[in-house]
Chains A and B, each alone.
Chain A
Amino acid sequence: MKLFNTVTGKKGEEIASEFLKNKGYEIVERNWRNKFGEIDIIAKKDNVLVFVEVKTKIGELYGLPEEMVGRGKLQKVRNMATVYLKGKEISCRIDVIAIVLADNGSVSRINHYENVY
C-alpha cells in the first residue's frame, strides 16, 4: 500500500518515540520547530540531551533510509539544536533512527545510530 510520504514520516516518528521510551529514554519534545526547520524528537537519558532525526522508508528498493540523511540534513539538525539549547552548556548528541516498513505497514527493521554528527 502506498502512503503519502508525510503519513509515512509521521508513522515512523510514532514508532521511533515508542522505541526510545522502551530503551529508557524520556521524550522531551516532539516535532520541535521554528521557521528554519524541525527536530523530529528531542529525548533525554542519563542527563544527555539527544536530538533525533527519524527517517522512514517503505521497502529498501529505492535506497536505504540511512542514505537519505546526508551531511546537509545533519547540519540542519545541528543548527536547530544550537537554537534549542540557547547557549546552555548541556552534554548532548545527535542520533539517527532509520526505519524500514514492510508493504503491509509493519516494521521490518529499526536501527538506532548514536552520535552520528
Chain B
Amino acid sequence: MYTIRNNMLTKIRSTANIGLTTIPIDVEVDVATAGFPGFTIVGLASKAVEEARERVKTAIINSGFDFPPKKITVNLAPADIPKDGAAYDLPIAVGILIASEQLPENTVFDLKKQFFYGELSLDGTLRPTKGVLLLALFAKKITGSQIFVPEFSANEASVVNIPVYPVLTLHRIIQHFTKTKPLNPLTYISVKDELDMEPPEFDLSEIAGQEQAKRAIIIAASGGHNMLMFGPPGTGKTMLARALPGILPPLNEQEALEVTRIYSISGLLPPGASLITKRPFRAPHHGVSTVGLIGGGSNPMPGEVSLAHLGVLFLDEMPEFPRSALESLRQPMEDGDVEIVRVAGHVKYPASFTLLAAINPCPCGYLGHPKRACTCSERQIAKYRHRISGPILDRIDLHVSVSVIAVEKLSLSLKNNPNAITSKQAKAMVVTARDIQTKRFAGTNIYTNSQMKNKDVKKFCMLTPESENILKLASDTYNFSARSYIRMIKVARTIADLDHKKDILPNHIAESLQYKQMV
C-alpha cells in the first residue's frame, strides 16, 4: 500500500522581525514526487504570507521557469512565531526552484549561511521590502553569512559589513547561482562617511527677537530637554520649532543605526536610502490617536514617539491633542522607551525623544497681550489650561514665554541684527556641549543629560555648596516636586556644559530656575 517517496526537501534561511528583535526562520520547502498537486504554506502565516502562494507561482512562471505541478508544502519554522509581511516570497521561490531541481543545489554555496529576504512582484522583480537593515544586523552575528535582498532596499544594509547581494529579479539570483552572471556584493559604506553635515533649512537669525526662547532652544538641543513655548499666535513659536532641526548635533554612528532600525521596520525609508543621518523631527497633527503616537496595531508598529527617537517630537497647539494621547506620553517621557502589549505579543521600542510643545495662553490667544484684549471667559481659560495635566507639565524642564515682538524689530529696512545668533553658531555651541556629554557618559548607554537616571545625577552633577543653597531656597518657596528638583539639576548641568564648566555654579542653577514653570 505504501510506497517510499523520495521527496525533495530544501531549507532556506530567512528572518522574522518582531518589533526590533530578529528571529531566524527556516523556510522548509518540500516538493513531493507523489500526491495531488497543491501549494500550502504552514507555520502561523498571516494573510500577506498566505498570499505569497499566488505571487510566487506567477513570478516563477513569468521568470521563465516551470512551476512544478506537484504537491508543494512550505513550512515556516519555528511554527509558533507569527509571520507577517511579504519578505518570505523570495526564500519560498528559491526553495521551490531548488526542490524542483531547476536550480542544482550543489551550485549553491552554503544555504545555512545565506539569507534570502524580499517581496516578489508578479513579473519576478523584487520590490522594496521593509526591515532589511535588521536582517543585515542579525546576519552579521553569524560568521561567513551572506544576504540576498531587493536591490531597492539593499542600500540600508550597506552600512553593515557583510556581503550584501542586491537582487533585481528572481532570474538574476538564478544566474548568480548557476555562475552564468554572478551578482556583485555591495561595497561596505562606513557609517561615518554617510554622516556629513547638511545645511539648516531655517536659520535662527531669521527670527526677530525672542532671545530667551532662542537660548532655551539651544539648551534643549544640547541636553535633550523637553521644552514648552507659551505665547500669543504669530510670535514665532512654530518658526522656532522649525529652526530646531538646524541646530541639532549630527547623529553619531551608534545613534544613526538605532534610528534607521526603527525606520527600516516601519518601512519609512525611501527606496535606495541607506541611513538616516539627520536627527528625526516629527510634527504629528493634533488629530493623532493614541496608537498613532505611541505605536500599536495587531502586529505592533512604532508610533510617533519612536519615530522621534533621539530627535524631536514637536506638538504644535498642544492643548488640541486628545487628552488620552497626551497622557500616554508620560511613561515614554520618563523611561525613554515604550512597551506595547497586544495579543501577538509584547514589543519594546526605544522612544527617547525631546518634546517640544507650543501652546497659546487661552483659546482666543490674546491673554496677556499688551495691546489686544482677550475675549475668553475665566471658565474657558481654566478649561483650556486643564487640557494639559500637571504630570505632563512637570516633565517639561524649559518653560519659555514667547511674547509679542515690537514692530520696530520687524522693520524690513533694518538689516538682520548682526548680534543675532545664527544657526551655525548655535549648532557649534550645541555640538561642543554634546561632546562634553559624550565624554562624560562614555561606557554607558546615556547620550544626553536629560537621559540621566537619579543615580547618574548623583554621580555626574557636582553642585557647589552655594548652588545647592539656591536650589534649596527655591524648592522651599515654590514647592517643587522631587522630579522637578532632579530635572532642574539636569538642566543646570547642560547650562554648565554650554559654559564649559565642570561644576554647576550658582548662575547655572539660577538660569535653570527661570525656565521652571512658576504657575
A residues with CB within 8 A of B: 64, 66-67, 69, 96, 113, 116
3 nearest A-B pairs in the assembled complex, by CB-CB distance: A116-B36, A113-B36, A66-B37
A66 touches B69 (CB 8 A): yes
B443 at the interface (CB under 8 A from A): no
- Chain B residues, CB < 8 A from A66: 36-37, 69
- Chain B residues, CB < 8 A from A67: 37, 69
Shortest Cβ distance from residue A59 to the other chain B in the assembled complex, whole angstroms: 15
B interface SS class: loop
Cα A90 to Cα B380 in complex, Å, equals 82
Shortest Cβ distance from residue A5 to the other chain B in the assembled complex, whole angstroms: 21
Chain B 348-360 per-residue mask, 1 if CB under 8 angstroms from chain A, else 0: 0000000000000
Cα A67 to Cα B36 in complex, Å, equals 10
Within 8 A of A (CB), among B50-107: 69
Beta-carbon nearest neighbor of B3 in chain A: A114
Beta-carbon nearest neighbor of A46 in chain B: B1
Cα A66 to Cα B72 in complex, Å, equals 13
Cα A74 to Cα B29 in complex, Å, equals 25
Residue among B35, B36, B37, B69 with most chain A CB within 10 A = B36
Shortest Cβ distance from residue B35 to the other chain A in the assembled complex, whole angstroms: 7
Cα A69 to Cα B37 in complex, Å, equals 10
- Chain A residues, CB < 8 A from B36: 66, 69, 96, 113, 116
B69 touches A64 (CB 8 A): yes
Within 8 A of A (CB), among B23-52: 35-37
Shortest Cβ distance from residue A64 to the other chain B in the assembled complex, whole angstroms: 5
Shortest Cβ distance from residue B2 to the other chain A in the assembled complex, whole angstroms: 11
Other A-B pairs, 11, CB within 8 Å; known A66-B69, A69-B36, A116-B35: A64-B37, A64-B69, A66-B36, A66-B37, A67-B37, A67-B69, A96-B36, A113-B35, A113-B36, A113-B37, A116-B36
| A to B CB contacts below 8 Å, 14 in the list | A64-B37, A64-B69, A66-B36, A66-B37, A66-B69, A67-B37, A67-B69, A69-B36, A96-B36, A113-B35, A113-B36, A113-B37, A116-B35, A116-B36
Cα A113 to Cα B35 in complex, Å, equals 6
- Chain A residues, CB < 8 A from B37: 64, 66-67, 113
- Chain B residues, CB < 8 A from A96: 36
Beta-carbon nearest neighbor of A96 in chain B: B36
Cα A113 to Cα B36 in complex, Å, equals 5
